[in-house]
């Protein structure tokens, strides 16, 4: 068994018979794709969290506007 780097398989152990040369060839060939995939997943998470936060801000602003209208004695925006 060979110790593996974290880019290849998460820090596990290799059972391949090819040895270090095969591992180095695999990293050279596929390592940049793993790095790009990881960056893509991080960006996707950031974008998703941003959308969630913007949606929550809109909800809070609408709630604040309804509360202000009710406090001023006017009807609520949703007709309740």
Residues 46, 41: Cα–Cα separation, whole Å: 9
> What pLDDT, on the 0 to 100 scale, is given for residue 11?
54
> What pLDDT, on the 0 to 100 scale, is given for residue 1?
43
> What pLDDT, on the 0 to 100 scale, is given for residue 5?
56
Structure tokens at 48: 């998703």
Please list the ranges in the chain whose pLDDT falls under 50.
1, 80
Residue 3's DSSP bridge partners are 13
Structure tokens at 58: 């809109």
pTM value > 0.85: no
Residues 50, 57: Cα–Cα separation, whole Å: 11
> What pLDDT, on the 0 to 100 scale, is given for residue 15?
52
């Amino acid at each position: 068994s060979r110790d593996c780097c974290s880019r290849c398989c998460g820090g596990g152990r290799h059972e391949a018979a090819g040895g270090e040369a095969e591992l180095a060839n695999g990293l050279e060939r596929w390592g940049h794709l793993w790095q790009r995939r990881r960056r893509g997943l991080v960006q996707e998470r950031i974008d998703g969290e941003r959308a969630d936060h913007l949606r929550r801000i809109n909800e809070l602003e609408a709630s604040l506007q309804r509360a202000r209208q009710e406090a001023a004695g006017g009807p609520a925006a949703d007709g309740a």
